[in-house]
Amino acid sequence: MDYFLDDFQKELVEQARRIGKEKIRPVAADYDRDGTFPWDLVKVFADAGFYGLWVPEEYDGLGRGILDLVLVTEELSKYCGGISLSVAASALGTFPIIISGNEEQKKRFLPRLAAGEALAAFGLTEPSAGSDAGAIQTRAEKKGDKYILNGTKVFITNGGAAKIYTIVANTDPGKGTRGASAFIVEDGTPGFSYGKEEDKMGIRASATRELIFEDCEIPAENLLGREGEGFMVAMKTLDKSRPGVAAQALGIAAGALDLSVQYARQREQFGQSIIQFQAIQNMIADMSTEVEAARAMLYATARMIDGGVKSYSRESAQCKVYASDVAMKVTTDAVQIFGGYGYMRDYPVEKYMRDAKITQIYEGTNQIQRMVIARHLIKEAQKNS
């Protein structure tokens, strides 16, 4: 199918596919089993220019956009949803700087991130603030030309691997979400340490870790935007990054579909390959249709964002919800097609099913995303009534 990609994007997909086949597929099971971070593959991704795709050219990036991030994330996720996350999660951590950073901050941090010399991570979630992002307790108190951070962030993707963190903390707790501010915190800053490294069900090749701030002093110039804009920065960041989660989910689903078709052609029962049975044909037909529908929605949303549309919160939520639900359904069906072998770790599809589940949870649970979608529809109806 022609997705109307330009020549650069077509080559980008081919490049990601080659890396997936040659570099990721042979080691994906090992990284999943050991739960180690794929530093060797981060170097491969950096050499390929993947970390510079979404960074503007004036800061040594390629000046591309969300669709290019989506294309790379989808293709890499066909081979391992965890390994691909080192790219998408760094984009998530970089977006706040692109969205709200001043010129000095952009010149200081973006070139390193574009080159893949440093990874980024985004710190919003806390033990008592998951879906309720406005309930964050991490405190940032200004003293002279510094801010003193105290608090804990949990479930932070790229945690411990990243060198640059964008952190949301309260500068004025009495104002609720209007009292939150966003900061850039560098690895190695005194008072900043790492806590528990999570032992996850899926995406085990990604780093997920607790961040601890104990009287952590950061310079005042590391404030992103102005005090009180942190919640707005976070919401704009997530709107922009959710297509990346959708792309990860889509890639996992597409990879599981490919494996299912290959297996069904080879597996014989009752004297013929199981792909000859109508029940299996119906399953793979539905799987393919759902994958293509998710891809169409995702690419359309990415093009909308790249096209400069100001408001895309609803569309971003919709593609994340749909693609992640498709990933869970398609990978479950893939395990079913593989039968008993699908349940065993000797075969790859059980990993795809485990990897798919997180896409329904992080960067806003699908239940929260449906609330976001509904609220936008209600506002649009009120506006047009």
Q: Residue written as tokens 């990243």?
A: 162
Which SS3 state, helix, strand or coil, does residue 5 take? coil
Distance of alpha carbon 92 from alpha carbon 109, whole angstroms: 14
The answer to whether residue 268 is catalytic is: no
Distance of alpha carbon 49 from alpha carbon 45, whole angstroms: 6
> From the CA atom positions of the chain, what is the Rg in Å?
21
E strand or H helix that includes residue 378 = helix 366-384
CA atoms within 13 A on the CB side of 337: 36
Give every CB contact of residue 342 below 8 A, 6+ residues apart in sequence.
334, 335, 336, 349, 350
Backbone angles phi, psi at 270, to 5 degrees: 55, 35
Cα 136 to Cα 5, 109, 171, 188, 195, distances in angstroms: 41, 26, 11, 23, 18
Calculate helix-pair angle for 66-77, 278-306, nearest 10 degrees.
150
E strand or H helix that includes residue 156 = strand 146-157
Characterize the bridge pairing of strands 120-123 and 164-170: parallel
Which SS3 state, helix, strand or coil, does residue 3 take? coil
- Of 75, 210, 290, 363, the active-site residue reads 363
For residue 309, give both structure tokens: 């549309």
Q: Are 141 and 147 in contact (CB under 8 A)?
A: yes
Distance of alpha carbon 313 from alpha carbon 305, whole angstroms: 10
Please identify every residue annotated as catalytic. 363
